[in-house]
Amino acid sequence: MKLDEAPNLNYAWAGLIIEELVRSGVTCFCIAPGSRSSPLTVSAAKHSKVKTIVHYDERGLAYFALGHVSISKHPAVLICSSGTAAANFFPAVVETSKKKLPLILLTADRPPELQHTGALQTIDQVKIYGNYVRWQTSLPAPDINIKPEVLLTTIDQAIFISKNPMPGPVHINCMFREPLAPDKTDFNGAAYLTSVNRWLHNGKVYTWYTAGEQFTGISGDSQVVSIINNTKRGIIVVGKLGSVEEQQAVIRLSEKLDWPVFPDIVSGLRMHPHANIIHYYDQVLLSECYLKKYVIDTVLHLGGRITSKRWYQYMEKQRPENYITVLGHSLRNDPLHIVSIRIKAKIRDFIESLLSGVNVNPQQTDDHLRFLQEASKSVGRVVTDFTERLTGVNEINAARVISQLIPENHGLFLANSMPVREMDMYVIPTGKLITIGGNRGASGIDGTVATACGFAQALNSTTTLLIGDLAFLHDLNSLALVKTLKKPLIIVVFNNDGGGIFSFLPIANSPGAADIFDRYFGTPHGLEFSGAAGMFGLDYAAPKTNKEFEEIYQMALESEKSLIIEIKTQRKENYQLHRDLQEKIKTKINKMI
């Protein structure tokens, strides 16, 4: 549909919005069916450069967009109708905001004369997402007296703010009056677009934004360089990183400083083979003897928050003199209130600048790194010996099998609660380059299936989703999105009949909650997922032994079909399994001190 041939003013406005988004590089449009959003939907659907995803559930659709953007790093667009449709975007908006990813929300709305009148599907959508959007505006209903460039500059502003200075969602509320269908009226599109005639034909965005870099580097005599050069015992702890280049930069820094690296599972370094990577650092921290013997001077924290609770307990006790945090945004990442220096910079830029100023192997005077290397290897041997004795399928072994068999360049998406922790604690360091994702912003369990689908679509590779039963139940609707994927999604579900993670929390052993724990925290549901697989046309398997799981998972990796693999476990047995293994690990590490 040519803009100057728009059938009515609604479609001229919607066409301008979609065209400017496309010129800004946006191609992924996620659309929920609805009437009030018809001008936006039709304009997107008929644009030759737009790729659309259509899903009936706005909540799942928004999480799909989040997953897509987590890989592409470029804004995706969400389109929905008015009323609670817009409200259903909210959980994913929160996660997107916390993860600092760009997203454009186009919510259709009733015009002013229908607001606060009891009209159907009409709520107050202005500022509906509160402080979780970087910017929001509400466009008036299309008006012939409002020039088209108003829409273009609004879109250009939205795109820029979604990416700068701190990426995140932006919200444009779009009011429309009837007619909502592309019905011809006496509207003269060519005349209306006269003021943007040059833009109409040049194929460029109306307003081009540019942003300068703020990080200017670290001088050789800076406080940071001085601290690092005088550190006797340091650790590099690594959260979420943005690229392979950042991962490589961390390795170079570790080599020069000869400091150990504690890698979170989402850092991309957890499976890296380099000797300075302490793969099982979380399990080493089980040892009280280690905690007492080795006092840390300096922590260099690169990237986002760490999954390991033991890391934060360790830091709470140690409270090192120097805790340097480097992040690419201005928000605080300091739950223990121990950060002494906070640097806003891209990780790679910071490291490249730092490398030129710090000494080779600064004041490291003891065996800390060597001990951690040997301790981590010992943990690996203990875990292998322990798990090889188990025949029944279990959550620890499943995580290790996945990490061992998943091929190079495949995707791995980890649900919150136990799945991400199982991988963080027990993944086998195979050295493979795997793209790992997870909703570690607000760290909720909702929308996980949808996010994994968006992640897999943008990655365009076979992807494994490791998810718990409650998170899976929470997002069963989104299994409909699996059929939109070009590559298979292998869904491995830990079904321990409820909230398995609560068995690891203090409430599980509190005498005051013993009589209500199972109902209110364990929340048993008594369900299994073969019916869900059949409903959505997916293959299904439920292995009973570790050997069966290995065989089924290997076949799934070689197949071209998506599959649900249900691993049924018992919460109490799973808890005891972890405790028995961790006791063996503690005993082993304590003997090494």
H helix and E strand count, the chain: 23, 17
* Segment 543-558 mean pLDDT: 98
For 125-162, how does the pLDDT look when each residue is reduced to its tens digit (9 = 90+)?
999 999 999 999 999 999 999 999 999 999 999 999 99
**CATH fold of 390-592, please?**
Rossmann fold (3.40.50)
DSSP line for 438-471: ---SS--STTHHHHHHHHHHHHTS-EEEEEEHHH
Predicted confidence at residue 441, as pLDDT, reads 93
Determine the Cα–Cα distance for residues 238 and 258; give it in Å rounded to an integer: 15
Which CATH number describes the domain made up of 223-366?
3.40.50.1220
For 514-525, how does the pLDDT look when each residue is reduced to its tens digit (9 = 90+)?
889 999 999 999
Please classify residue 52 by burial: count the beta carbons closer than 10 Å to its beta carbon, then call 0-12 exposed, 13-18 middle and 19+ buried: middle
For 178-211, how does the pLDDT look when each residue is reduced to its tens digit (9 = 90+)?
999 999 999 999 999 999 999 999 999 999 988 7
Single pTM value for the model: 0.93
Q: What is the 3-state secondary structure (H, E, C) of 141-183?
A: CCCCCCCHHHHHHHHHHHHHHHHCCCCCEEEEEEECCCCCCCC
3-202, which class in CATH? Answer: alpha beta
* Mean predicted lDDT score pLDDT of the chain: 95
How crowded is residue 203: how many other Cβ atoms within 10 Å of its Cβ? 8
List of residues 6+ apart from 194 with CB closer than 8 A: none
3-state secondary structure of 130: helix
For 284-332, how does the pLDDT look when each residue is reduced to its tens digit (9 = 90+)?
999 999 999 999 999 999 999 999 999 999 999 999 999 999 999 888 8
Q: Which residues of 284-305 are buried (b: 16+ CB within 10 A; e: fewer)?
A: bbbbeebbeebebbbbbbbbbb
Q: What angle do CA 281, 286, 290 make, to 5 degrees?
A: 80
Residue ranges, comma separated, of all CATH 3.40.50.970 domains in the chain are: 3-202, 390-592
Q: Are 185 and 6 in contact (CB under 8 A)?
A: no
Residue ranges, comma separated, of all CATH 3.40.50.1220 domains in the chain are: 223-366
Q: Are 126 and 138 in contact (CB under 8 A)?
A: yes
Is the pLDDT at 365 greater than 80? The verdict is: no
Q: Long-range contacts for 153-159 (Cβ within 8 Å, ≥24 apart)?
A: 153/206, 153/207, 155/16, 155/17, 155/20, 155/21, 155/24, 156/20, 156/24, 156/205, 156/206, 156/207, 156/208, 156/209, 157/207, 158/104, 159/21, 159/24, 159/26, 159/75, 159/104, 159/209
For 73-122, how does the pLDDT look when each residue is reduced to its tens digit (9 = 90+)?
999 999 999 999 999 999 999 999 999 999 999 999 999 998 999 988 88
